[in-house]
Structure 1
């Protein structure tokens, strides 16, 4: 089982994950936040949050919810107890000395979010520091105004990160803790469960129910000490802010009301359910949009913007073409609006000043209508900027992902070639790339018409289309591409018998490996990428004899006789398919094979033929400094040829993949790259797959 260590200094490949610690911007931001924490605190922080947390500890852990309701402060702390525990035990117990102490958990949350974002956005530390760590709005929310929203957002991002790494139970625990810190995270749960369901190929109930039960249990355990308190229920789940969800209405006939926020939220859920699979990016998009609904239709509180700005920054960095200007303008609009509201603390949050100056008071020289107009225009500008950011994320995320294969649609790869050419080896290389949990492999041998020893094999060879149920393959591949599961028998090469039918699940990557993937046009048109494997003939003979003698207990003479009997069918039915492939892979020997079929490895070179419309220059330029491998690239009339000799290391391959993989990195995050020409073939295939998806080939 894979275990994810969130705060390790390096990842599995030894790459530094906390590289931002070496950047001056991080230390500037950290110093600024610490200094502000000593000198600034808004009214909520000073008069409600700090007294609430301090009372909890000074009273010997009596319920502060009961005490503060009894003294008439009904909105003192509208957070569930996880927020109370997190703040108090990480420094808040001493916050009556200085507001800095209650900022310690906020600062830790802030750094934690930065670490998770840095893990999700590889090699983007500088942009993250500029646009997240030094965001003026996020700094104001936590270190001047003093809202606590960084805490639940930390739990949310940790939960998402664990979920992306298939640590579903741990992810459920952190999401449960997040909901137990702030109830707005309830909006996340349906998308969280939908992600698990959509990415659960076998649709096993336990994979869905266990995380759900763990989430509920975590939430209940945290809340148990207070659940019998009516004061707790009223302050946390009946506070005035939560009831605003029902204020965005359209009056209908009579007393009926159309509630806008629940309606749009259900539309988001329905949209998410359209996807056969939900990628990591899509999950974060839907979560961000869910929070944005509240901000758009409810006059926002300052802290609410901590729910969405990290998501906007994430997607702005994720999509290189996406401009940061909309996010910067949004933050400017935020500062303008909250400077104009009546209870703005822009000038009064400084602890060592009695200044009660507000811009609102200066506006009172105008009549109330003018003041309302100015405030309304500021709010309109803020909400318009928010809508524009949501639209641009929608255009980049939802719209593009609807058409994006691999991330949300099965991607079908066909591997064709004669018997013993290395098709299974190529399939294994792809499995190392994408992981067995992301792949479903279909083999053409399963559709042979007869078992080994049948009289029909004396009349017809395995290479003839008549000897295989090719049209059954077509039906199966269509179903799998549409995200549907199938039932299929398997051919056991050991016994020569067929198994009973078993369920085969659709997956992100579908690989069909066989003799006739491209022979019938209706079948070859299904493939997103077609690869034909055809080594030089002596090498094929060497591999074929070595495999059948060592692994299938054939004699060398029997293998040679079989090849001779099949030669005509091979030329007619198998090799003729090479012209329909997108990529033709040819291994050849650098020296003459001394003893064909003895199982000894020989020195090889690799030739790849690919159609002209794929631009491989970017990849080859990246590899050019590697002196251990010699790569020649030539254009022909109808294709281009890449010839590779020498050696390349798995580290060189990984570095090359990181350079071009972009937003498809989640599919090769745990890739196992091999050394040598097979590793080069892995690199070339993943490059072509990503190029295919990006350019819609």
Structure 2
């Protein structure tokens, strides 16, 4: 932070601000804010609005809440005690808020000091509105941007309190609250923290809002504020007695578009919030101070966009300055006659900025495009290969709130006790309702809910149909997940578990004997009975998978140990037909996880094979994922559940393919 303050642009901006404070005496300060603060400093009271009005003050002087008053009063009291003009104390208070806002923005844009100082600290909008005209919108914006910062850091109680404080400082900040609520509702990883945000907002709202509501003088100032009526000045008369107010219409449409996003990340949330503020400013005869609301948004947009964005914003800022120069300056520059044209040009450039922001920060956002269609993963493999285990581990990465799981076991045609199982095995497609399985998967992919039964492996019976909602990620696992062409066409990623046959029998014995209560003899007999159907119906599905994961025992002789003994060490073989960032993946697996990795590929690089040996911890695998796929970590749960060993490596390999498939989808 000290590096920011030592930057030459900061010193230049600070000198410019101090010079403006020393030489410019804004009308708003002399007529409204300084007299109000002077009256408050002379007679301290819990109801400063009543004190001011009792002394004959104008009702338009201070239509703000306790937070604005508390932010400006300390320096006003110091100035009163020192015999310094209250107007200077007021300006110093705005300068302090301005510097704090700069610090918060620097935390949100780390390593971009020069850009931030040029775009924010030297912004003509900030300089003119705050120091040339003496308007105090920098205070509520400081609180609102601090709320954004806390939201990004997932400190939701603090974010809620700061939002309430921003509303207390300036009632117009209530426009931001619906966007916060939509974000917390549409980001499923944060839904559970919505009560923390509500508690923080309710507590701060009660502390700052209830005393204000009990002050008749404060409410009188607020309700007599002429700025409130500006919301309805831009309207369209569409018939006798019928009027459409443009700004509320545009704001509500923006809210609706935000609500329609099925899942939202922070960048999309902040972009939509900024776009909402920009439309409010453009579609009302806004006070110059309102333009301060969009400065942080324009800073974020320019930081992420190109040179044209900077030029457009510079033009917009220059037109803002020309449109809001004081009357005496306009008279000296003979610009009064072109002011309407300037305002029209400023609005036009602002609309162009809004359209570019929508295209570049909203419609091209990964989450915005991802929310149009769920990401579907198919996992096939033989009985006991670990299909549901892998599905559950992926569910642990993305969070149960974001995953719908469709298990092929739930589509067996008969309960375990039915005599048909004497002549047919579960591995036969005819023993499973694959048509319903495919129809349900298609419905989930289309965003619709389904009714599905659940097969209880303990009792061998089906449950009553239960409602399963579509979600961001749909995982379809089963013996025949890749059997039908219609199923294969649904998947963004198809996985086949081609486990070593001896190891598969070992795992199936461990599971069915220890977890499901079957006898070892019965399990072995079932394996032998199912072998022909496995060869005929299940194993050929491997050729349809884009990713084949194979576990091989390092010491096959350990597979003969009794049930319940320590699991043998394994190595993971990976075959990919679509590539998986194999060079960087191998480098990270060796360097971060300390594994031994062999890489091979076909002559035309159409199929890549990795052999991975060694033990990796969940912490190492999580670090490898963050190194390889920093963008996709946004799609993971708040605390993703990485696994140790081979299962964790399967998670990482699957995530590599998900990352690649998402990128392809976003390009298309």
Cα 1:432/1:402, change in 2 over 3 Å: closer
Cα 1:193/1:467, change in 2 over 3 Å: same
CA contact (8 A) 1:132 1:310 kept: no
Indicate the SS of the match to 2:244. Answer: strand
Matching of residues 358-437 of structure 1 within 5 Å = 359-364=329-334, 371-373=336-338, 375-401=339-365, 404=368, 406-407=370-371, 409-437=373-401
Count of residues in correspondence between the two structures: 647
Shift of 1:566: 0.6
Give the TM-score normalised by the residue count of structure 2.
0.84
CA contact (8 A) 1:631 1:645 kept: yes
Cα 1:664/1:148, change in 2 over 3 Å: farther
CA contact (8 A) 1:296 1:386 kept: yes
Match of 1:635 among 583, 593, 601: 601
CA contact (8 A) 2:376 2:492 kept: yes
2:291 corresponds to 1:291: no
2:94 corresponds to 1:111: no
2:625 corresponds to 1:657: yes
CA contact (8 A) 1:416 1:531 kept: yes
2:663 corresponds to 1:694: yes
CA contact (8 A) 1:74 1:235 kept: yes
Match of 2:123 among 116, 119, 136: 136
Matching of residues 547-558 of structure 1 within 5 Å = 547-558=511-522
Shift of 1:665: 3.7
Matching of residues 433-444 of structure 1 within 5 Å = 433-444=397-408
Shift of 1:649: 5.4
Q: What whole-Å deviation, never above 9, does each CA across 1:437-467 have from its counterpart, x for those lacking one? A: 3223332212222233332221211111222
Q: What whole-Å deviation, never above 9, does each CA across 1:569-626 have from its counterpart, x for those lacking one? A: 1122211222222211112233333333644233332222222366555545666755
In 1, Cα distance between equivalents of 2:118 and 2:538: 56
CA contact (8 A) 1:542 1:597 kept: no
- Residue in 2 aligned with 1:601? 567
- Residue in 1 aligned with 2:443? 479
Matching of residues 220-299 of structure 1 within 5 Å = 222-253=208-239, 256-299=242-285
Q: What whole-Å deviation, never above 9, does each CA across 1:98-135 have from its counterpart, x for those lacking one? A: 443454455445434544x35xxxx6655874566645
CA contact (8 A) 2:63 2:221 kept: yes
In 1, Cα distance between equivalents of 2:98 and 2:247: 29
Match of 1:334 among 317, 322, 345: 317
In 1, Cα distance between equivalents of 2:37 and 2:157: 30
Indicate the SS of the match to 2:426. Answer: coil
Match of 1:680 among 624, 649, 653: 649
Which has the larger displacement, 260-269 or 94-103?
94-103
Cα 1:579/1:209, change in 2 over 3 Å: same
Q: What whole-Å deviation, never above 9, does each CA across 1:610-663 have from its counterpart, x for those lacking one? A: 223665555456667558233343333542223323355555544543455455
- Residue in 1 aligned with 2:32? 48
Cα 1:404/1:241, change in 2 over 3 Å: closer
Which has the larger displacement, 92-101 or 500-509?
92-101
Indicate the SS of the match to 2:559. Answer: coil
CA contact (8 A) 1:56 1:62 kept: no
Matching of residues 186-197 of structure 1 within 5 Å = 186-197=174-185
Indicate the SS of the match to 1:388. Answer: helix
Matching of residues 42-81 of structure 1 within 5 Å = 43=26, 44-45=28-29, 48-69=32-53, 71-81=56-66
CA contact (8 A) 1:295 1:304 kept: yes
CA contact (8 A) 1:34 1:100 kept: no
Q: What whole-Å deviation, never above 9, does each CA across 1:161-218 have from its counterpart, x for those lacking one? A: 6666777666544433332222222323344444455556999xx9999977985785
Which has the larger displacement, 658-667 or 77-86?
658-667
Shift of 1:675: 4.7
More helix by share: 2
- Residue in 1 aligned with 2:171? 183
Shift of 1:565: 0.7
- Residue in 1 aligned with 2:470? 506
CA contact (8 A) 2:571 2:611 kept: yes
Q: Which runs of 5+ in 2 are unaligned?
A: none
CA contact (8 A) 2:236 2:243 kept: yes
Q: Which runs of 5+ in 1 are unaligned?
A: 1-20, 345-357, 365-369
In 1, Cα distance between equivalents of 2:265 and 2:656: 20
Shift of 1:275: 3.2
Indicate the SS of the match to 1:474. Answer: helix
Shift of 1:405: 5.7
In 2, Cα distance between equivalents of 1:157 and 1:517: 47
Give the TM-score normalised by the residue count of structure 1.
0.80
CA contact (8 A) 2:579 2:608 kept: no
Indicate the SS of the match to 2:405. Answer: strand
In 2, Cα distance between equivalents of 1:560 and 1:627: 37
Indicate the SS of the match to 1:631. Answer: strand
In 1, Cα distance between equivalents of 2:43 and 2:253: 47
Cα 1:661/1:379, change in 2 over 3 Å: farther
